[in-house]
Each structure stands twice: as C-alpha cells, then as structure tokens.
Amino acid sequence: MATPPQFPEDTGRYPEASRANTALVLGILGVAVLPLLGPFAWVMGNQELKAIDAGRRPPEGRGVAKAGWILGIIGTVLLALGLIFVILLVVAGASVDSSILTET
C-alpha cells in the first residue's frame, strides 16, 4: 500500500494568521452594501496594521489591511451621514406633524 505524499509543514514564521482579507471584505461591504460594517472594518484593519508592525502577522498583508482600514473609515462616515439624515427627517416630520395638528 502506497503512503500518501508528505508535504512540509508550515513552520509559521508569524504566530498569528492574517486577518487583512477579512478587514478588506468588511470594508467593501461597509461601503457598497451595509454601512454598519464600516466600524468593524475600521477597527479590524487598525488592529491588523498594529499586529503587522509588532511582527505578529505577515507584512505581506499590509496593503490589504490598509485598504480595509480606509474603506472602514469611509463606511463609518457614510453610516454617520445616514444617521444624521434619518434624524433630520424625523425632526422635520415631527415639526410638520405638530404644525398640522395646531392648525385644525
């Protein structure tokens, strides 16, 4: 019976796996689909950049982590603008409703 081929194990030069791709995906989704994911991408991208600087994660993911971080900031700004817009709509709607009630 033949033995299966043996592949060299990854010795793992870095103690932690990269999460740069996750930050990027969250950032893209935060800008394109659901701005609520923006803050998560921002935090995860920032943590990834700090881990890369500390030598715990591979430096090859720096560009991807930076892109996720930037997209997370953009998504967070879009989320904040959306919340401000909704609040303004609610306030404007309440003032219109109250003026209609006082005229009758």
Element (H, E) at 41: helix 38-54
Question: How would residue 98 be classed by pLDDT, with cut points 50, 70 and 90?
Answer: low
pLDDT for position 99:
60
Q: Which residue has the higher pLDDT, 59 or 2?
A: 59
Q: Which amino acid is residue 1, in one-letter code?
A: M
Pair 96, 53: CB distance under 8 Å: no
Q: What is the DSSP string of 44-89?
A: HHHHHHHHHHHTSS-GGGHHHHHHHHHHHHHHHHHHHHHHHHHHHH
pLDDT tens per residue across span 68-95: 999 999 999 999 999 999 999 998 887 7
Give the alpha-carbon dihedral of 89, 94, 95, 100, to 10 degrees: 130
pLDDT tens per residue across span 25-37: 999 999 999 999 9
In whole angstroms, give the CA distance from residue 104 to residue 98: 11
Model confidence at 100: pLDDT above 80: no
The single-letter DSSP state of residue 7 is P
pLDDT for position 1:
63
- Mean pLDDT of the residues in the chain: 86
In this prediction the pTM is 0.77
The single-letter DSSP state of residue 37 is G
